[in-house]
Structure 1
Amino acid sequence: MKSISSFIILFFLTFTFQAQEKKWTLKECVKHALENNISIRQSQLDLEISEIDKKDAIGNYLPSINANVSNSWNTGLTQNVTTGVLQNQTTRNLSAGVTVGVNIFNGLSNLRQLQRAKLSRMASMYSLEKMEDDITLFVANAYLEVLVNKETAKVLKEQNQVTQEQFTRTQDLVDAGVLPQGDLLEIKATNADENQQIIIAENAVRLSLISLAQTLLIDDYESFDVVDETYGVPVNEILQKSPQQIIENARKERSEIKIAESNVELAEKDVQIAKSGYLPSLSGFFNYNTRESGANRFGQGGIDPNSPSQVIGQVESTGEAVVAPNFALSTLPPLPFFEQLYLNDGISYGLQLNVPILNGFSTRNSVQRNKINIQRAEYQLEQAKLDLESNVYQAYVDAQGAAEAYQAAEVAVESQELAYDYAKERYDVGLTNAFDFSQSKFRLSNSQSQLIRNKYDYIFKLKVLELYFGVDAKDIKL
């Protein structure tokens, strides 16, 4: 029993440790964001609503069927629904019916509503695609920021390791009387400064991880971490294309243009729907109804003893009266429930034509209002194209500038490495002091950190440009 308990405890400790050690890849971060981001969920709800609107438009083609039933009690002078006679009574009356209505023609409104619902669904899909692109790019940028901070911290730690090794060697030389005490103090100051920079860099890593976790809606900030991946600089094929080529492709592929175009089509369809109000509408109906009453009925009984006969006519030739037996009226109980429903039922059916003549200019004003909306949508489309062109040029210039900055940073690192090696050689033989040597190492560390930042900035801006060219955000690889 003890061994089983130990195994269970070990299992859960191992599981907990593995869960805490999980590190997220960029692909996992993007996938998680697309599944959980609130803005994307809202866009998905908009898409669901557009699906319901489409079902509503399809439902307009179907006939309407409505059933009704009413059961009431009346007291006082009321009409007997089975005899039509007014009498003082307390009675119960039931009526029931089924009505079917069919919209035969309503100015093509149903057809245009269905077409509009389909357009609205497409616009919702484009909005969802744009939101996914934006979130993917935002997550990629946050992820790259973490990697930049991690690599920067790594470089600082490597440089500090060199400083510590140099401190040990300098200590030996100072103890041997080869170097002055000031060189040792200079290296101590350099080590302290580097330790401060390492702390700042590690805080930047922590903050960037928290920012990424918040973007992904992950609450466990303490254990959240990303895979320490090192990305190479991609081939800049996209920069081989001209800005105009990218703009032309972006106008065909980008969601913001498709959204603006869909809005124009929706506005045009709204005008057509409004114009349907000028046309007549034709509908058909069919109704079945029946009734039942709990009131007593009057029926023919036996011969009235007080007046056994009654005159019903006269012989024209002789003037002799024609008599017949006089039957007394008697009160009878109501007929059975279903028999009454059978005897009292009826149907009605017909067509109804409505011709619009004057409705206070409502239809005309609706048409004019929607025509204005077309112009507004066209202006928005034109503005979207201008914004896209401006954004593409900006992204193109940014990518070119990032490429040049990265190349310059590479040259700077190479130069600083040579300068550092030269300074180290001079320091080792006592031809330079510790201050000059520390400055050389400081410049190398700065150039390496700048190279890291320029590299990831260049990668990100290339990906932005690829997005404008029409590459799906989910297919972009770093």
Structure 2
Amino acid sequence: MNKISKVAFFLLISFFVKGQDNSWSLQKCIGIGLENSIQIKINLLEVKRTQKAKNSFVNEILPTVNLFGSQSYNFGSTIDPSTNGRVSSNIQYDNFYLNAQMNLLDFNKLANTQRDKINIEIAKADKEVIENEYKLQILESYYQTLFTQELLSIQKQQVINSKNNLDRIQKEVNIGSKPKSDLYDIQFLFAKEEKQVVETEQLYIIQKTELFQLINFTDLSIEEVVLEKSITQTEHQTNSEEINNPKITVAKLNYDKNRKEIKAQRGLGLPTLSAFYQISSFYYKPLNQPNSAVESFSNQIENNKNQQIGLQLNIPIFNGFKKNKRVSVAKIESEKAKLVITQENQKIKQQVEVEKKNLYNYLQLQEKLNEVENYANESFGTTQAKFTSGKADAFSYASSKNNLLSSEYDVLKNNLQVQFTQLKMNLIQFNQL
């Protein structure tokens, strides 16, 4: 391969790669959007925060250990720690003790641990809800832009055809076979079509800009981006029992959390069994008594050492009916959470039912739109022939051409609406395309 051939080859490869980069699929937009979404990153941090905040039951029952120390000065009539008798003197008194306590049985902490575990699942499900709604927004923006892209493609093709007719009429006017009025008419129609193309291009650029702003990706040339029409879909069964919308998941988890809250409130009224251990010692020194014999600090700490170990049972008897009120409130919250599950299921089913009717309507309309397009195509063919032979004026030609343009776009848009509705139903029911 010579140098020129190599250069041509690499230029061809570069052009091909560039063309590939400018082609954007729905899956690509959603994937990049999920990576760049600030809200989703916030929810991901919330999941991590909830995980860090969770305490396992083992952590809850681990002993708490505290070291205490105090120094005090007693003046006047005080208690002599060595004899435990009252004396008239000034004494320095230092007290030290180490205390460890561990709950062996605590129903409230057990319920709180289970509730914390559910909080992590709720945080994850909340993230899934945000992602699902975000996917639906991208889907809507993508197809609105795709509709405009395909309309622009049809309009540009029509402008090419009109330009050919304009050139032909120009030649015929120049040789005197057609009057100048025909040229003015076709020039007017051509300028009007060019204006429509400009308006559609402006709308197309705005919609693409909004789409890429939505996915937080602006490091590209918007004008060169082309959206793909072909969407790979996953087949799903429409069994209502298989609905996997994250909003329903969140509602179910909140219901479970409220049930654990009932157990936690009831646990406050149940006995608590704990074990404890304490070791303590003290040091004393009479003040302003130079002749008094006082043991050294280390000897006193060793000699005055005292240890205590035991079990403690705490049985709540009466707390002013506060526990019963808290349990009643928790039960009401649980019933509310249960109704939210029903409400979310109802919303999803109603939404899916509407989309199924839309899909049915689009499919039912498809055959009729194809029929209209065929008739419009045949009508335009005869009108084109009449216009060429001078048997039809420019406005009849324009009307026939607009009918063809409208019918072509209706067929294309209806096909895309079928695709859009199927994808939307998949996201609503199964949280995936």
The 1:404–1:338 alpha-carbon spacing in structure 2 relative to 1, beyond 3 Å, is farther
Kept after mapping to 2: 8 A contact 1:427/1:437: yes
Q: Deviations over 1:340-388 (max 9, x none)?
A: 4333322222222222111111111111111112221222222222222
For 1:183, give the aligned amino acid.
Answer: D
**Paired amino acid for 1:272:** K
Matched, 1:461 2:421: yes
Residue of structure 1 equivalent to 2:40: 40
TM-score w.r.t. the length of structure 2 is 0.84
Which residue of 1 is the match for residue 55 of structure 2?
55
Other-structure match for 1:257: 248
In the TM superposition, what whole-angstrom CA distance separates every residue of 1:260-299 from its partner, at most 9, and x where no partner exists? 222222222222222223322222211122334566697x
Q: Which residue of 1 aligns with 2:292?
A: 331
Paired residues for 1:257-406 under 5 Å: 257-292=248-283, 330-332=291-293, 335=296, 337-406=297-366
- State, as a whole percentage, how many aligned pairs show the same letter: 21
SS in 2 for 1:177: coil
Distance 1:190 1:69, change over 3 A: farther
CA distance in 2, matches of 1:187, 1:228: 33
Q: Which amino acid aligns with 1:280?
A: P
Alpha-carbon offset, residue 34 of structure 1? 1.6
Cα 1:81/1:194, change in 2 over 3 Å: farther
**Structure 1 position 123 matched with structure 2 position 122:** yes
Give the aligned partner of residue 308 of structure 1.
none
**Superposed displacement of residue 249, structure 1:** 2.6
- Superposition CA RMSD, Å: 3.2
Distance 2:223 2:300 in 1: 77
8 Å CA contact 1:213, 1:221 repeated in 2: no
Query: Structure 1's 86 and 44: CA in aligned 2 closer, same or farther, altered over 3 A?
Result: farther
Q: What SS does the corresponding residue of 1:351 show, helix, strand or coil?
A: strand
* Alignment partner, residue 98 of structure 1: 98
Instruction: Measure the CA separation in 2 of the matches of 1:224 and 1:126.
Output: 38
Matched, 1:428 2:388: yes
The amino acid of 1:423's aligned partner reads T
Number of matched residues? 415
Q: Distance in 2 between matches of 1:111 and 1:88?
A: 53
- Name which of structure 1's ranges 138-147 and 457-466 shifts more when overlaid on structure 2: 138-147
Aligned 8 A contact 1:246 1:469 in 2: no
TM-score, normalising length from structure 1? 0.77
Change (3 A) 1:32 1:97: farther
Question: For residues 25 and 226 of structure 1, what CA distance do their matches in structure 2 show?
Answer: 10
Secondary structure in structure 1 of the residue aligned to 2:319? coil
Instruction: Please give the secondary structure, in 2, of the residue aligned with 1:278.
Output: coil
Contact (CA 8 Å) 2:89, 2:286: kept in 1 or not?
no
**Residues 191, 330 of structure 1: alpha-carbon distance in 2 compared, 3 angstrom cutoff:** same
Counterpart of 1:149?
A: 148
Judged with a 3 Å threshold, the aligned counterparts in structure 2 of structure 1 residues 268 and 233 are, in CA distance, closer, same or farther, namely closer
Match of 1:67 in 2: 67
Q: Which residue of 2 aligns with 1:415?
A: 375
* Cross-structure match for 1:175: 174
Instruction: Check 1:293–1:165 CA distance in 2 against 1; reply closer, same or farther (3 A cut).
Output: farther
Paired residue type of 1:188:
Q
> Which residue does 2:240 correspond to in 1?
247
Contact 1:402 1:461 in 2 (8 A): no
Change (3 A) 1:97 1:233: closer
Bigger shift: residues 53-62 or 189-198 = 53-62
Which residue does the alignment assign to 1:197? 196
Q: Which runs of 5+ in 1 are unaligned?
A: 1-13, 299-328
Q: Deviations over 1:90-117 (max 9, x none)?
A: 85x54333211111222x2232222222
Segments of 5+ residues of structure 2 without an aligned counterpart are 1-13
Q: Secondary structure at the match of 1:60?
A: helix
Max radius of gyration: which structure?
1
Q: 2: CA distance between counterparts of 1:297 and 1:398?
A: 98
Matching of residues 79-94 of structure 1 within 5 Å: 86=87, 89=90, 91=92, 93-94=93-94
1:369-417 Cα shifts (integer Å, max 9, x gaps): 1111222122222222222221121111111122234443333333322
